[in-house]
Amino acid sequence: MRYCAAAFLILVYGLFCWWCWRKYQRQQLQRNLQQKQGSAAFGAGSADILIAYASQTGQAITIAQQTAQQLTAAQKNIHLVSLNQLSAELLQQNSTLLIIASTYGEGEAPDNANRFIARTLANLQQNSLQHLQVALLGLGDSSYKHYCGFAHQLQHELQHCGAHFITDVIEVDKLEASALRHWQYYLGQISGQSHYADWSKPEYSHWNIVQRECINPGSPGAPAFHLKLVPLDGAIVSDAWRAGDIAEIGPGNSEQTIRQFLQQLGRDAVIADEIVTTQKLLHSDLMIDDAHLAELKNLADEELVGSLKDLPHREYSIASVPNENSLDLLVRQVKIASDHYGLGSGWLSLHAQLQQPIRLRVRANAHFHSPANNCPLILIGNGTGIAGLRSHLASRACQMPDLQTRNWLLFGERTKAADNFFAEDIQQWQTSGVLTRVERVFSRDALPGEPRYVQDLLPRHAAELERWVQEGAAIFVCGSLQGMAQAVDDALRTILGAGQLELMADQRRYCRDVY
Ligand SMILES: Cc1cc2nc3c(=O)[nH]c(=O)nc-3n(C[C@H](O)[C@H](O)[C@H](O)COP(=O)(O)O)c2cc1C
């Protein structure tokens, strides 16, 4: 009996110690979180960009701080708060809001965000946030039932208050690096500064450009190139990527850029030749400020190469499916100055030679994957956005005749003569029944009163759109973030109603890949 009592006492004591330890751990966590929150306080009142975080264990705070650093480096004035600290006044005073939100419990808000919806958003008038553009990064774990549940709830509630979403919620599964790089890409778009250091280096493999063609000669728009790439190490496997996925490209410098850089460092032509030939600086970021340049001058070549960061990655919608035996991209060449091009587009459309190894990584873009139930698809896009839509049509064409469903394409570009991208494929798909309906508009060809842009087509086909949606169709939008994305969203809200569109977004029947 005495032994039992002693054993019981030891057990109770053991449990008590464990409980103390757990309490200490939670307090330590809270202390770290408060410290992080304390150091996260950034800026005040109206700023260029408002950043808000919802975090339980600090990961979202860390990413919010990195986000603030990238935007501050882009000369943006930042205000950083937790969601509970985000007041109605701040929401009214600012026009751009970035949210980094994790999810807790079963799809619930972390503690430092648990009052935001009930105390702040719930007291706002509908459409009182129409001035606000929002981007939302959802941290979560797909093994949970409500994956990124709180982030999606925030999107729903903010949209209900009229806020405009720059892009759909960017979901990050267990801090997956490529999704965080995708977020950085949007920070580049929002800040107008697309030259930043990737938070993590993509694991590239090497591919070859086997075909490159400018497909819109004579267009009033910038040249658009259709590229076909194959892996350096052989065949494409059938599940190498899915329709809707993204190619992350590691750009390279032009020979001219490398020589100019070495000249700045006072390296002579012989060394420059050697470095150019050996491609040591091919993927290095050579945009260096004067102070740093002075430091580099004294370094030996190997040290120099080792001290430079890689160029930031670039992202392109994949326009084909593995069954087509090449990874296709549609790249709009961006000219910055007379002989100066955008990092990614200059590399792919001009500087990279055919058969020269291209750094490429496929990023799974789950939220733009085809609907699992093969429901009818309404595909809306403009310009090179047709790339992301073409992959869905190609995927469905490959599943014919087993897959019996309907697809409707609505597309806008400049001139029919020069910018009727993938016209042959589209014709074939109309003939084979893959495409049930096709509407295309060309802004430079349009006569007064005629639709000019793809968004102008929507009201003209409102009844048909409503019918397709009632029959379970999903709407996929791909193309320009500036102009098209918001105008299409507004037109769909008018035709289908805000409630219906938000419901479709929750059901993943309204998906956008805009850039
Ligand atoms: C107790 C617990 C509950 C969680 N519940 C969810 C959930 O319902 N949905 C989800 O997507 N992730 C869930 N997660 C994953 C977290 O959201 C994820 O780990 C996130 O990166 C944490 O970020 P934080 O440190 O900023 O809070 C949960 C994690 C824990 C530990």
DSSP string across 213-275: EES-TT-SSPPEEEEEEEETTSPPPTTS--TT-EEEEE----HHHHHHHHHHTT--HHHHHHH
Contact 79, 51 (CB under 8 A): yes
Q: Ligand 1, closest atom to CA 60? A: 26
Give CA angle at 481 (47, 185), nearest 5°: 65
Contact 117, 160 (CB under 8 A): no
* Distance separating alpha carbons of residues 3 and 20, to the nearest angstrom: 25
What residue's CA is closest to ligand 1, atom 5?
Answer: 104
CA of 226 to the centre of ligand 1 (A): 41
Nearest CA to ligand 1 atom 30: 104
Whole-number Å distance, alpha carbon 157 to ligand 1 midpoint, is: 20
Q: Which residues pair with 310 in a beta bridge?
A: 284
Res 45: pLDDT: 54
Helix (H, G, I), strand (E, B), or coil: what is residue 184? helix
d(CA 345, CA 449): 35
For residue 110, which atom of ligand 1 is closest to its CA? Answer: 27
Please tell me the residue having the least CA distance from ligand 1 atom 6.
Answer: 104
d(CA 245, CA 327): 11
Atom of ligand 1 nearest to the CA of 149: 9
- Whole-number Å distance between alpha carbons of 110 and 84: 10
Q: Please give the pLDDT value at position 37.
A: 52
Contact 411, 439 (CB under 8 A): yes
Distance 103 CA to ligand 1 centre (A): 5
Distance 364 CA to ligand 1 centre (A): 21
Which residue type sits at 246? I
- Residue whose CA is closest, atom 22 of ligand 1? 102
What is the predicted pLDDT for the residue at 27?
63
Cα 180 to Cα 183: distance, rounded to the nearest angstrom: 5
Q: Are 286 and 256 in contact (CB under 8 A)?
A: no
Q: Among 29, 106, 144, 176, name the best residue to mutate to test ligand 1's pocket (greatest count of ligand atoms within 8 A of Cβ).
A: 144
Q: Which atom of ligand 1 is nearest to the CA of 148?
A: 11
472 alpha carbon to ligand 1 midpoint, in Å? 32
The enclosing H or E element of 456 equals helix 454-460
Q: Which atom of ligand 1 is nearest to the CA of 54?
A: 26
Gap between the Cα atoms of 317 and 245, Å rounded: 6
Q: 């918001």: which residue's tokens?
A: 486
Å from CA of 108 to ligand 1 middle: 9
Q: Whose CA is nearest to atom 29 of ligand 1?
A: 104
Residues whose beta carbon lies within 6 Å of some atom of ligand 1: 55-60, 102-107, 110, 139-141, 144, 146-149, 175
What pLDDT is recorded for position 31? Answer: 60
**377-382 vs 407-413, strand pairing mode:** parallel
Q: 331 pairs with which residues across the strands? A: 225
Ligand 1 atom with the shortest distance to the CA of 63: 26
**What is the residue with the minimal CA distance to atom 28 of ligand 1?**
104
Residue from 66, 104, 171 whose mutation best tests the ligand 1 pocket (most atoms within 8 A of CB): 104
State residue 195's pLDDT score.
Answer: 80
pLDDT of residue 355: 84
Instruction: For residue 146, report the distance from its CA to the centre of ligand 1, in Å.
Output: 10
Nearest CA to ligand 1 atom 31: 104
Q: Which residue has the tokens 């500036």?
A: 482
For residue 29, the CA-to-ligand 1 centroid distance in Å is: 15
d(CA 102, CA 319): 32
**Residue 57 alpha carbon, nearest atom of ligand 1:** 25
Indicate the pairing of strand 314-317 with strand 246-250: antiparallel
Q: State phi, psi for 345 to the nearest 5 degrees.
A: -70, -35
For residue 304, report the distance from its CA to the centre of ligand 1, in Å. Answer: 42
CA Rg value for the chain: 26
Span from the CA of 2 to the centroid of ligand 1 (angstroms): 46
Residue with tokens 């600090």: 58
- Closest ligand 1 atom to residue 106 Cα is 8
For residue 124, the CA-to-ligand 1 centroid distance in Å is 28
- The continuous run of DSSP H or E covering 100 comes out as strand 96-102
SS (H, E, C) 474-492: EEEEEECHHHHHHHHHHHH
Ligand 1 centroid, distance to 424 Cα (angstroms): 47
Q: In whole angstroms, give the CA distance from residue 373 to residue 474.
A: 10
Cα(31) to centroid(ligand 1), Å = 19
Task: For the chain, 515 residues long, give each residue's pLDDT as a single digit of tens.
Answer: 677 888 888 888 888 787 777 666 656 655 655 555 555 455 555 678 999 999 998 999 999 999 999 999 888 889 999 999 999 999 999 999 999 999 998 899 998 999 999 999 998 888 899 999 999 999 999 999 999 999 999 998 998 899 999 888 999 999 999 999 999 999 998 888 888 888 887 889 999 999 999 999 999 999 999 999 999 987 899 999 999 999 999 999 998 898 888 888 888 777 777 777 777 789 999 888 888 888 888 888 788 888 888 899 999 999 999 999 999 999 999 998 888 899 999 999 999 999 889 999 999 999 999 998 889 999 999 999 999 999 999 999 999 888 888 999 999 999 999 999 999 999 999 999 999 999 999 999 999 999 999 999 999 999 999 999 999 999 999 999 889 999 999 999 999 998 899 889 888 899 999 98
